[in-house]
A and B are shown apart, each in its own frame.
Chain A
Amino acid sequence: MSKTVSRRRLRVCLAMVVGVFGVFGVRLFQIQGLDASAYAAKAIEDGTAKSTIPAPRGAILDRNGAELATSVDGLTLTADPKMTAPYAPQIARILSEKLGDRIDYFDTIDKLRTPDSRFVYLVRDVPAWTAKKALKAIAEADMTGVFSEKETLRTYPGGKLAANLVGYVNGAGKGVAGIEQQYDKTLTGTDGASTYEIDPNTGVRIPMADSTVTKMVPGRDVTTTIDRDLQWYADQRLADAVRESSSDWGLAITMDTKTCQIVQMSQAPTFNADDDSGMVDSNTVSRAVQNVYEPGSVMKTITMAALADQGKIASDTPIVVPSGMEIDNFHIGDYWKHGVINLTAAGVIAKSSNLGTIVAAQQMSNSTMYGYFRKFGFGQMSGANLPGESDGILKNGKEWTKANHATISFGQGVSVTALQMVRAVGAIANAGKMCEPSVVSSTRDADGTETKVPAKPSKRVVSKDAAATVTRMMEAVTAPDGTAPAAAIKGYRVAGKTGTAWRVDPATGRYIRGQNTVSFMGFAPADNPRFLTYIVLDKPYSNAGGGSTAAPVFHDIMSMALERFGVAPTGSKSPKVKQTW
């Protein structure tokens, strides 16, 4: 009897054991055979952690290495409204105390109380040092539910300094204007990545376990040709001038005529990408390369250079200037009323006579004059390698009417960018050889290895003698009896030219009476030029002229440039040039 019982018990036990193992077997088959890859992936996911090592964006530096744009750590603050709702006002108060203007108290309370949500953004891109203070204060007050995400934040230590040249980045950290945009690829590095094994429960990295690392390559620094201190001075001086003359906008550009490096490029009004103020299109547009306007009388220097290169004019060439002209039913006069007067070519430039320039320019055919204007780079980009640059507008010489020929000779009926104008007159300052303006001199990697940006070769546009002739004429402009004695710098020889051009209404394409673009272009020392400065003021009060409004700005900025770069006067005296005959 007992033998039968124990045998049965044995069988039952065996069946149970087989059953249990059977279940194990089925489960094993399911795990290993059917869902193997899914489980393996899950195991790898739980047991490894991935982290991206963001590559810092390169800095933008001035010519002496001072930072114009740089990157710092930033934090974006987020919250879980389910956790923060009970003490939303307290958290909002701490945040507005620590973050100041970056956050609105009432908006933040609403965000912290967002119903049916477990994630809201509170404020983006706050410098890490400020955000950490806020987080610490919240933690100290025993409140939870506010978190942070790491960001890279672009800062501009100079604020408005050279803002239109440096540009700015968008929310995703991509350059969208100026050098930030043009050199975006150079400035952006390659993000690194690392994958390592962790304890799935604690999340702590397992020592000596496998890890893979993709190397992070930081972005390259871009060294500009800008001198920060001169730039600041010009920014400030120009902003004052724009305000005092009630101009719509103003530009000031200074170029080293020997190297064609832009040492200063100011625009007013401008913006501040550091605190996001003034970020409207009319401020963020880079007017030096994107704004086309009619240059007016500054263009007379180009007409004279073309004539001098052909041997058709010298500074004392006598010109009979009529009291007025009718060309194609278009009346042209000078800015001052006169009868028939006898001016020398230098007198025409010194007094800025439109009629005298037309008479002189009539020695050239349409095609010759158009050819020279093209050689001087009009109708073509300046080569400064800045985004959104305009070509300007220079009608083909074959299509010129008589009126076109006449007005283009004194800078109306032709549209330019300021940088084109700087390049063209730069050729006169550089003894007839023209080079392309540059704003970036080199790039530098994280190890400090510099790569120079090669300078493009200069090309001759007019002869050395022609350039010298026009320079002599331009020196008469800053003489006491010229149109811009305010541009003269004591002890130096200064060559210059004023410009007062009618403004074109962009809507109708017609000139607007009483609205002008005034300018002054000049270089010094005239007998051995080192710097060229161009000032443009758009739509100043109605009776402002280039000589009275733009020339004093030129004087101050040019003086500062000469002083900063240690350019001593040559000691020679300006030759006396006859203005009448």
Chain B
Amino acid sequence: MSPQLARTISAPDAPAPRFSTEGAKAAGLRLVRPVRSRARKAPFVVVVLTILSVGLVGLIIMSTILQAQSFEAQKLNSQSAELETQRQLLSREVDKLQSPANVARRAIQYGMVPNTNPAFLRLSDGEVLGKPEAAKPGKTNIRSVTP
């Protein structure tokens, strides 16, 4: 055994080897001094903790926002239902007002009568087609609107 090898083996911070150096030698292996880490542990812990806490806080914020949005969505849904009801009510009122029965009732109130003597004015030459006759409330025409 060479003295150099013996020194290596007996290095103070390496445990005493119990294996056969012969075998290691045969495999081309030799013992080396372990690399001493100079990195400090504290920054690593801080980074990990920061990431964790940012993640956690982010998650809480996101979940709170989503929850709030879900409530908001629910509120908007009911508002939209309310508005839809209102739209239906208004469109029904419009329908009623512009229904032929309503228009006729109003027209009769103003003293108007339906014209049952159709006549046309041809714009190209100004000719009157048909026999125009003033409409008058007759026995056979509509005088009132049955509801």
Contacts and interface: CB of A to CB of B under 8 A. Distances in A.
Contacts of B142: 233, 236-237, 240
Contacts of A491: 117-119, 129-131
Contacts of A129: 85-86, 88-89
A157 B95 contact: yes
Interface string B59-74: 0000100110111001
Nearest to A566: B120
A553 B139 CA distance: 11
Contacts of B100: 158, 161, 228-229, 232-233
Interface in B90-146: 92, 95-96, 99-101, 104, 114-120, 122, 129-131, 133, 140-143, 145-146
Interface of B: 63, 66-67, 69-71, 74, 81-82, 84-86, 88-89, 92, 95-96, 99-101, 104, 114-120, 122, 129-131, 133, 140-143, 145-146
Given A73-B85, A233-B100, A233-B142, A568 B129 contact: yes
Interface stretch (A251-259, A293-301, A385-393, A557-565): A557-565
A249 interface: no
Nearest to B96: A157
Contacts of B115: 559, 563
A155 B118 contact: no
Given A73-B88, A568-B129, A204 B70 contact: yes
A375 interface: no
A555 B104 contact: no
Contacts of B120: 566, 568-569
B99 A158 contact: yes
A399 to B, nearest CB: 43
Contact of B104 (A236, A240, A567): A236
Contacts of B146: 236, 239-240
Contact of B85 (A132, A490, A556): A132
A566 B129 CA distance: 11
A547 to B, nearest CB: 13
B92 A72 contact: yes
A237 B140 CA distance: 8
Contacts of A480: none
Nearest to B142: A236
A552 B118 contact: no
Contact of B114 (A128, A132, A233): A233
Contact of A555 (B69, B92, B116, B133): B116
A567 B120 CA distance: 9
A155 B114 CA distance: 28
A47 interface: no
A571 interface: yes
B66 A208 contact: yes
Contacts of B117: 489-491, 559
Contacts of B82: 132
B26 to A, nearest CB: 53
A552 B140 contact: yes
A560 B114 contact: yes
A33 interface: no
Given A491-B119, A568-B129, A157 B99 contact: yes
Nearest 10 pairs between A and B by C-beta? A491-B130, A232-B100, A207-B66, A563-B118, A491-B131, A129-B89, A157-B95, A559-B116, A490-B131, A568-B129
Contacts of A553: 140
A543 to B, nearest CB: 17
Given A157-B96, A159-B101, A236-B104, A562 B118 contact: yes
A556 B138 CA distance: 11
A161 B104 CA distance: 14
Contacts of B101: 158-159, 161, 232, 236
A285 B104 CA distance: 27
Interface in A152-187: 155, 157-159, 161
B112 to A, nearest CB: 13
A191 interface: no
Contacts of A465: none
A555 B140 contact: yes
A72 B130 contact: no
